[in-house]
Structure 1
Amino acid sequence: MPSHTKHSSGSGKPKLWTPAFILIVGVAFCCFIVGQGLNSGTSVYINRLGGTATYAGLLAAVFSVAAAFARVLCGPIIDQKGRAIVMVIGSGLFAGGIIVPIFTNDTAAFVACRFFQGVGFSAVTTAAATAAADVLPFSRLGEGIGYYGLGQALAMSVGPALALLLVSTDPPENLFIGLAAMSIVMFVLALLCRYERNPQKLPDTSVYRMRCEAHDRGEDAEAEPEQRGLRRVFEPSALPGALPMIVLSPAFGFGIFFIGLYGTTLGIGNPGLFFSVSALSMIAVRLKSNAFMDRVAPFKVLAAAVACGIIAYLLLLAAGDVAALYYLAGIFYGACLGASMPICQSVAVKNTPAERWGAANALYLLATDVGVGIASIAWGAINDLFGFTTTICCVIACIALSLVVAWFSFPPDAKRKR
């Protein structure tokens, strides 16, 4: 996209923290807090009501399937109808799916609510990721996506902690009251994201404004034929960033589903502290992202992230009952997550025409969903058969393999010095 890199508003760096970008980061922050809170708190809520682990697992599967289903639909809708409308409708569905359980715990209603929660979560996160790319200056896209990801980083510690606090109170429905309040805030912020109607209010370096100005001058690129089949839903140009994430995200899946259990098995007093440490590490990496995201070749950034991931899991293998090593692993785990996800996403987006960024983000996020979803099944089975040591060795193999996949999938300019 050479036209994006030529546009400049003058000396110095183009502006990053615009009102539109702040709103979008706010939407993402609320969405991930609520989503992580639901994933952590629902099983405890079911347990408090006397439900079974099998039922809780079914509800988790419903959420995951709904989220994947929505990814398939959201990409082309975002590209054709706009980002804001998908964010608003998704926020409404998400909020509705959280409000209903306050008044009823009927099994069928609860399953339906988990479905709407998954659809809403997927719609908001896909649209918000695309909107963030819209309003960011192209020359600082990697850095901006890193900041956007702070919502995810904070959610990994704040969301579960908030949910577990709420669900432990009486009545346990306070879980949904608290998360519903935050989802309403998310809905209001989504309503305020109106940059598509007023692109002239964006900095002149933003990709969306440049596209609109080019359209007004009649300088649009030659129209491409209408996409059909899977090409309409997903953008193949995003595969260079999505393929490594399919292989790498199972390592994060192990972290989400099993690291806490592994810590408990080792006899670590407070295994949940791993996630707080990793969240702080992610935040630190993303706050420093301006030093490397758009200045260092993406492959080199990913290589450093992969090295951190391997170190993290080697430390977990060596931890035994030494809590310090277990928590130290969280620092490297957070650094891996904090650098790898935004760099792969920026490769996916930069390799894709701007008018197809919705489909590109849908493909990238689906790749992450698939990797995490497969991991939740595969790691459990391997662990039951062979134990945690074998499982962690398999996780390390996945992390290393992701770098090999990136070497073959990343475009040449993502592997060269900058």
Structure 2
Amino acid sequence: MNQELTENDERVDDAKVRERSGARGGERLWTPLFALIVAMTLCTFMVGQGLNSGTSVYLAHAGEGAAFAGVLAAVFSIAAAVTRIVCGPLIDKRGRYQAMCVGMMLLAVGTVAPALVNNPVMFVACRVVQGIGFSAATTASATAAADVLPLSRLGEGIGYYGLGQALAMSIGPALALFLVSTDPAENLYFGLTAICVTGLVFTLFCRYEHNPARLPATSAYRRKWEARRAAEVAGMTGELEAAQTADNPAPGQKPAARSAGDEPSLSGWRSVLEPRALPGALPMLVLSPAFGFGIFFVGLYGTSLGISNPGLFYTLSAVSMIVVRLNSKSFMDRVAPIKVFAASTVCGVGAFALLLFAGAGGSGSGDMPFYLGGILYGVCLGISSPLNQSVAVKNTPPARWGATNALFLLATDLGIGMSSLVWGLVNDSFGFGATILCVITCILAAFLVSCITYPRER
């Protein structure tokens, strides 16, 4: 009897979800809450990108060498990576709001401190605090974005969520270089701190965990909350009987189904990182070195070629990234992920092939292919990053989305961080041409990995 009731309840729940979803796009995607999360993400990544690009210039003004700037970059990356490992399960257990607030506060403190106490030891300590705060805030905000999106538009929404990162990639470094060129140069840290405080203000309004009824009807967080409420009500009348049936089913009877969102307790490394996120995280780990080259070396490569404005590469890539994400509704959640990733791979290979071609001509003749490469690079990044994150999220239960996003972002950080050292060594030994060929190999290898790891269903 209990089994029949459980099956009937599951059919009713599925019917309700289908009814709530209705026609495609029936639920609003750009709710005020989702817009706040995107705005907070924009502020966070502007600070992170600004610190990465402005710190080395600030140190150069202070008479420090490039080696010290490299040490600080490594310290930031290590602190961020360790925090992602620890932060994922904490977000799942204690909630997204606390992690976002604490992360933004730590980022603000770590950003303003170098302007107040200026010595090498303080810089190292501040980069650690910055890495912890940045990692906690971005891991929690990525999970929060998945929480508040309608289930039928999850992939599309994650693409829009990445708009904050895309805009920050263009605005953050340019703003940082402007601030550090003013008098005094400490304006870099004061200005970025102001942006961080603005992001903290946005975060204070993201308290959906206290009122999940504000969320779209098919959002995973609201569905989990409603299932728990229903389970609590049912538990008042038959908790003991249900527990006995679940733990000791009668012969031939299936165990009672778990409530939506319930997950068995995990131990060891599975409690920290979510292995079911690997189908999206592994392709991103292999692909990230290509983006690492774009972040750290394309500007230097353009300068060595005599490109008139190497920074335009980043502006064009950011614009194309924004355009492709604004139009992601046409393919995200509608087209099989492997087909979308195949298109992204073609754009990525084309981008770096154009960069290679730009270096084949004489001085000043490679401007056009260099800039066109930036456009295709932005399309590749604009598609592949949210796509792989969507695959990772959809392949895991909502109760583990904190650990899922932690693993995905950790894979991205490791791919970019490790490649920055490797590409530097290859550049010094064999030149940019050989490095770009290695980058193209990484892009093709990422597509091969996706063919192996992606779920077979749409």
Question: Root-mean-square deviation (CA), in Å?
Answer: 1.5
Aligned to 1:119: 132
Aligned to 2:90: 77
**Secondary structure of 2:446 counterpart:** helix
Give the whole-Å Cα distance in 1 for the aligned partners of 2:298 and 2:19. Answer: 46
Structure 1 moving runs of 4+ over 2 Å: 1-7, 9-12, 221-225
Aligned to 1:304: 343
- Does structure 2 retain, via aligned residues, the 8 Å contact 1:250–1:375? yes
- Does structure 2 retain, via aligned residues, the 8 Å contact 1:37–1:163? yes
**Secondary structure of 2:125 counterpart:** helix
Aligned to 2:386: 342
Using a 3 Å threshold, how does the CA distance of structure 1 residues 11 and 332 change in structure 2: closer, same or farther?
A: closer
1:278 aligns with 2:291: no
Q: Which runs of 5+ in 1 are unaligned?
A: none
1:160 aligns with 2:173: yes
**Secondary structure of 1:205 counterpart:** coil
Give the whole-Å Cα distance in 2 for the aligned partners of 1:386 and 1:6. Answer: 57
**Secondary structure of 1:196 counterpart:** helix
Aligned to 1:46: 59
Aligned to 1:355: 399
Aligned to 1:250: 289
- Does structure 2 retain, via aligned residues, the 8 Å contact 1:7–1:205? no
Give the whole-Å Cα distance in 2 for the aligned partners of 1:347 and 1:18. Answer: 23
Using a 3 Å threshold, how does the CA distance of structure 1 residues 10 and 412 change in structure 2: closer, same or farther?
A: closer
Give the whole-Å Cα distance in 1 for the aligned partners of 2:277 and 2:447. Answer: 17
- Does structure 2 retain, via aligned residues, the 8 Å contact 1:91–1:183? yes
- Does structure 1 retain, via aligned residues, the 8 Å contact 2:292–2:420? yes
1:234 aligns with 2:273: yes
Give the whole-Å Cα distance in 1 for the aligned partners of 2:157 and 2:17. Answer: 15
Q: Which runs of 5+ in 2 are unaligned?
A: 1-9, 232-257
| One-letter identity of the residue aligned with 2:410 | L
Match of residue 184, structure 2, among 171, 181, 185: 171
- Does structure 2 retain, via aligned residues, the 8 Å contact 1:234–1:362? yes
Give the superposition deviation at 1:5: 6.0
Using a 3 Å threshold, how does the CA distance of structure 1 residues 7 and 25 change in structure 2: closer, same or farther?
A: farther
Give the whole-Å Cα distance in 2 for the aligned partners of 1:180 and 1:188. Answer: 12
- Does structure 2 retain, via aligned residues, the 8 Å contact 1:33–1:155? yes
Give the whole-Å Cα distance in 2 for the aligned partners of 1:99 and 1:25. Answer: 23
1:331 aligns with 2:375: yes
Name the TM-score, length of structure 1 as normaliser. 0.97
* Per-residue deviation, residues 153-205 of structure 1 (Å, max 9, x unmatched): 11111000000000000100000010000000111111111000011112212
- Does structure 2 retain, via aligned residues, the 8 Å contact 1:5–1:139? no
Give the superposition deviation at 1:374: 1.1
Give the superposition deviation at 1:225: 3.0
Q: How does 1:114-263 map to 2 (within 5 A)?
A: 114-218=127-231, 220-221=259-260, 223-263=262-302
Stretch of structure 1 that moved more, 221-230 or 404-413: 221-230
* Per-residue deviation, residues 215-268 of structure 1 (Å, max 9, x unmatched): 101172484432111101110000000000011010000000100010011011
Aligned to 2:328: 289
- Does structure 1 retain, via aligned residues, the 8 Å contact 2:224–2:261? no
- Does structure 2 retain, via aligned residues, the 8 Å contact 1:278–1:332? yes
Aligned to 2:249: none
Give the whole-Å Cα distance in 2 for the aligned partners of 1:95 and 1:85. Answer: 15
Number of residues of Structure 1 aligned to a counterpart in Structure 2: 414
| One-letter identity of the residue aligned with 1:294 | D
Aligned to 2:436: 392
Give the whole-Å Cα distance in 1 for the aligned partners of 2:336 and 2:299. Answer: 34
Give the whole-Å Cα distance in 2 for the aligned partners of 1:99 and 1:353. Answer: 38
* Per-residue deviation, residues 101-120 of structure 1 (Å, max 9, x unmatched): 12111111111111010111
Give the whole-Å Cα distance in 2 for the aligned partners of 1:108 and 1:378. Answer: 27
| One-letter identity of the residue aligned with 1:304 | A
Give the superposition deviation at 1:359: 0.2
Give the whole-Å Cα distance in 1 for the aligned partners of 2:428 and 2:267. Answer: 43
* Per-residue deviation, residues 287-342 of structure 1 (Å, max 9, x unmatched): 00011111111111111001000000000000134211100100000000000000
Match of residue 121, structure 2, among 108, 112, 125: 108
- Does structure 1 retain, via aligned residues, the 8 Å contact 2:24–2:152? no
Using a 3 Å threshold, how does the CA distance of structure 1 residues 12 and 350 change in structure 2: closer, same or farther?
A: closer
Give the superposition deviation at 1:23: 1.0
- Does structure 1 retain, via aligned residues, the 8 Å contact 2:263–2:399? no
**Secondary structure of 2:63 counterpart:** coil
Give the whole-Å Cα distance in 1 for the aligned partners of 2:323 and 2:213. Answer: 33
